[in-house]
Amino acid sequence: MNRFAMILKSFVLSLAFVGAAFASAGKVDINTADAATIAAALNGVGPAKAEAIVAYRTEHGPFKSIDQLVDVRGIGLATVDKNRELIVLGGAK
């Protein structure tokens, strides 16, 4: 691999890490975000719980309230409460 390709690869990888850092620091729309974004943004929500959120949304439609997250298997009220300020609801009809 030539020097330019190594620098470019490093730059792209750095951008990926920066993007993940901003995702975890900002708010997440649980009606439109993918599982990876949800897992990165919410405290106590890993990949499996994030996938469960997306599966629930796919089956039942967009969330109409943040409290509706407790209907997702593996998500309790404590998890909802500690993430309440990080969650937004867009895309709800």
Give the residue with greater pLDDT, 2 vs 55. 55
Instruction: Quickly count: other Cβ atoms within 10 Å of residue 85's Cβ.
Output: 9
Average pLDDT over residues 43-60: 97
Place 25 in a pLDDT band, splitting at 50, 70 and 90.
low
Q: Are 58 and 32 in contact (CB under 8 A)?
A: no
For residue 24, what pLDDT is reported? 43
Instruction: Tell me the CATH class for 3-88.
Output: mainly alpha
Average pLDDT of span 1-15: 69
Two structure tokens written together for 42: 């919410």
How far apart (Å, rounded) are the C-alpha atoms in residues 22 and 40? 9
Q: What is the DSSP letter of 28?
A: E
On whether the CB atoms of residues 50 and 39 are closer than 8 A, the answer is: yes
At residue 2, the pLDDT reads 85
Residue 10, amino acid: S
